[in-house]
Amino acid sequence: MSPKKTDFWQLLNARAVPGLLLFSLMASLILVLVSTPADAQNLLPNPLQNPICSRIDNQIQVSLGLRIYCFGRQPNGPGTGTSPSSIQSSSGTASDSGGGTSSFSRNVNAASLAEDISPSGSRAYGQAETSIAASGRYVVEAWNDFTGAISLCPSPMNKEELTGAGFSNDGGNTFTDIGGLPNDDCNNNRLFGDPSVEVFHAPNGTTYFYISSLYLPISFTDLTFKIALNVCTVTGSGNLNCSQPVIAAKSSECDFSCSVLDKPFMTVDPVNNRLYISYTEFGFLTATNGQVELAACDLTDPANPMCENGSNGPSSVFAPPYYVVAPSDANCAQNGAYPAVDRTTGDVYVAWEFNWVTNFTVAACADTSTPVVNKLARIPRMCLTFPTTTTCPSQSTTSIPVTSMDVAFIPGYNRFPMNDFPRIAVSERAGTVSVVWNDARSNPGGDILLQSFNLGPSLTPTSLAPIKLNNDNVSGTFHFMPALRNPDSSGNISISWYDRRLNPNSALTDVFAAVAINPRITSTPSNRRVTDISSNWLSVSADFVPNFGDYTDNYASPPPSSPTDDDPLFVAWTDGRLNDPQPFESHTPLPAPH
């Protein structure tokens, strides 16, 4: 951002100079003429006409939440592909929940269908992109909720917000849908989903859940795009009380329109009382093709996070990022950043995909000199200071070759392109940082691959080649969207993913998992089925694209007071068994009470 533009926007926002005031009023009038009325902004796409929306599908790809912001409702129904008439789900007739599998609990819808109806009586079709975290018997799952796109501000249960959540106080056996997250500023900024959930168990015994979301402008009061946290506290009675949004990051570029922040995801460092969020910024000057950034919040007072360049940052309209992990490339896009923290050292690791989509749409990114890779960076704790440190000479980065699935058309999945986003976890006990992704090098339908690296600046791989995690061998069977978050108390990691091995050549989809594996594994592990009913995605009605979302999630949860080797694994995914995308959950057996 040049000084001239910085001064202009600071003065425009403060309305300190008469000439600039007149200019700003004229600019606002022009924008109003091409925008939507204030009382309808939440029902129509791209209310402030941000020009980055015009680049989506042409030059860049973005998250489900940002697509809803830009394009509004994108209804779609049964797709094309193998007819399901002669294919039976391997678990029989669909129902809201089944009886569970041999290793996982019955599948539970964390949302209530009764809450997916707007105040005027319209049903929304779609809750997707799930995230989950757990501490003991307390579990929170969050999702994108399309009900917010058809509900006015304010609405009962905060239905105008596009981030919904469910709470369980019985270890994930049942959930209460709490509706949308609180937001008293819904006339100016709205929570637009793409949630991530993390948990912090405070020394005083209080459990805090943090839910991050896109927090996007719908009025001219503040044009910046933001990432926000809602702090949800478990009360002594076993209920969940959620705060107003806390700003964690803002646009760093503004020139009549502001840069866009996308795909936030969190990790918590409970030793150093820190919360980190990785995300991508798309802008007009330095972040054109996606700049991978990191936000940081101090959890010394866990009920009131102080976020650098957010709630604790400068008071100007926009703010520089707390930390730039990877500057934007001149030609090739990057997105899908996920973080993990080494709780022993405080180092943060971030993985993301480079040259996604531009590998077949931009000539400069389509040759052998710019292959698709998943990148992994280590940011040492000494570089993550408060206040902001903008550079880190000790950051180290490595690349992982990927045979991308981004040109695949997956029957029932209504988005093109597919993604190969990496998921990441640090195991201090194993001394590793592990990355998983879907990869088509050996199977056109994709395999789930694992590559682990030794912790530290060298980022040396622990094996010569990635390890295949799905243990079926039918060529062309689809496996995609793996989830990986954190190790269990023994240092083992668990990976879950969408899988079509039970019904190849169809859109019937399950979730499978490799549970509690050593990050240094050298051969394909055993797999467990998570879903108790297959979803036929050719018969699912959805109001948005992509209908699956573009990520799933899981969370290993050692009980806070007494970790055991049988820590439960909670898995969250978008399920289509009700012909309406819903946020489901299942878990491995809970340990006996201590």
d(Cα 67, Cα 76) in Å, to the nearest integer?
A: 14
Closest by Cα among 362, 468, 447 to 403: 447
User: Which of 29-33, 50-54, 267-271, 465-469 has the lowest average pLDDT?
Assistant: 29-33
Binned at pLDDT 50, 70 and 90, residue 85 comes out as very low
Domain coordinates in residue numbering, the chain: 35-528+535-560+567-587
Mean pLDDT of 134-143: 96
d(Cα 245, Cα 27) in Å, to the nearest integer?
A: 29
> Which pLDDT belongs to residue 59?
85
d(Cα 164, Cα 176) in Å, to the nearest integer?
A: 11
Measured from the Cβ of residue 154, the count of other Cβ atoms closer than 10 Å reads 17
Indicate if the pLDDT at residue 35 is higher than 70. no
pTM here? 0.90
d(Cα 351, Cα 338) in Å, to the nearest integer?
A: 5
d(Cα 576, Cα 128) in Å, to the nearest integer?
A: 10
Looking at per-residue pLDDT, the higher value among 572 and 312 belongs to: 572
Which CATH number does 35-528+535-560+567-587 carry?
Answer: 2.120.10.10
Q: Collect all residues with Cβ–Cβ distance below 8 Å to 3 and sequence separation of at least 6.
A: none
Question: Percent of the chain beyond pLDDT 70?
Answer: 85
Binned at pLDDT 50, 70 and 90, residue 349 comes out as very high
> Which pLDDT belongs to residue 24?
36
d(Cα 57, Cα 409) in Å, to the nearest integer?
A: 15
Strands, sheet with 432-439, edge to edge from the N-terminal-most edge strand: 423-427, 432-439, 447-454, 467-468
Token couple for 279: 């995300």
Indicate if the pLDDT at residue 31 is higher than 70. no
Q: Rounded to whole angstroms, what are the CA distances from 452 to 352, 373, 442, 467?
A: 15, 15, 19, 9
DSSP state of 162: S
- What pLDDT, in 10s, does the model give residues 238-279? 999 999 999 999 999 998 899 999 999 999 999 999 999 999
Question: Percent of the chain beyond pLDDT 90?
Answer: 76
Indicate if the pLDDT at residue 308 is higher than 70. yes
> Which pLDDT belongs to residue 560?
54
User: Which of 359-363, 493-497, 566-570 has the lowest average pLDDT?
Assistant: 566-570
d(Cα 168, Cα 176) in Å, to the nearest integer?
A: 6
Indicate if the pLDDT at residue 338 is higher than 50. yes
Indicate if the pLDDT at residue 576 is higher than 60. yes
> Which pLDDT belongs to residue 115?
93
Indicate if the pLDDT at residue 509 is higher than 70. yes
Task: Give, in degrees to the nearest 5, the angle at Cα 175 between 174 and 177.
Answer: 155
Amino acid identity for residue 224 in this structure: T
d(Cα 429, Cα 424) in Å, to the nearest integer?
A: 16
- What pLDDT, in 10s, does the model give residues 139-172? 999 999 999 999 999 999 999 999 999 999 999 9
> Which pLDDT belongs to residue 557?
84
> Which pLDDT belongs to residue 389?
64
Closest by Cα among 114, 212, 198, 99 to 157: 114
> Which pLDDT belongs to residue 396?
96
Binned at pLDDT 50, 70 and 90, residue 566 comes out as low
d(Cα 252, Cα 459) in Å, to the nearest integer?
A: 30
d(Cα 175, Cα 168) in Å, to the nearest integer?
A: 5
Indicate if the pLDDT at residue 401 is higher than 90. yes
d(Cα 226, Cα 177) in Å, to the nearest integer?
A: 25
Residue bearing tokens 């910046």: 224
**What's the CA dihedral at 115, 116, 117, 118 to 10 degrees?**
100
CA within 13 Å, CB half, 468:
12
Counts of helices then strands in the chain (DSSP H, E): 4, 34
Closest by Cα among 171, 117, 116 to 141: 171
> Which pLDDT belongs to residue 312?
83
Mean pLDDT of 439-459: 97
User: Which of 17-31, 59-73, 75-89, 326-340 has the lowest average pLDDT?
Assistant: 17-31
Rg (CA), the chain: 22
User: Which of 270-274, 472-476, 500-504, 528-532 has the lowest average pLDDT?
Assistant: 472-476
Binned at pLDDT 50, 70 and 90, residue 285 comes out as confident
Q: Collect all residues with Cβ–Cβ distance below 8 Å to 540 and sequence separation of at least 6.
A: 77, 78, 412, 547, 576, 579, 580, 581
Average pLDDT, the chain: 87
> Which pLDDT belongs to residue 99?
58
Amino acid identity for residue 294 in this structure: L
Looking at per-residue pLDDT, the higher value among 562 and 197 belongs to: 197
Amino acid identity for residue 231 in this structure: V
Closest by Cα among 99, 181, 103, 141 to 553: 141
Indicate if the pLDDT at residue 441 is higher than 60. yes
- What pLDDT, in 10s, does the model give residues 200-253? 999 889 999 999 999 999 999 999 999 999 999 999 889 999 999 999 999 999
Mean pLDDT of 9-32: 34
Indicate if the pLDDT at residue 83 is higher than 70. no
Indicate if the pLDDT at residue 8 is higher than 70. no
Indicate if the pLDDT at residue 539 is higher than 50. yes
Indicate if the pLDDT at residue 1 is higher than 80. no
Indicate if the pLDDT at residue 87 is higher than 80. no
d(Cα 307, Cα 189) in Å, to the nearest integer?
A: 18
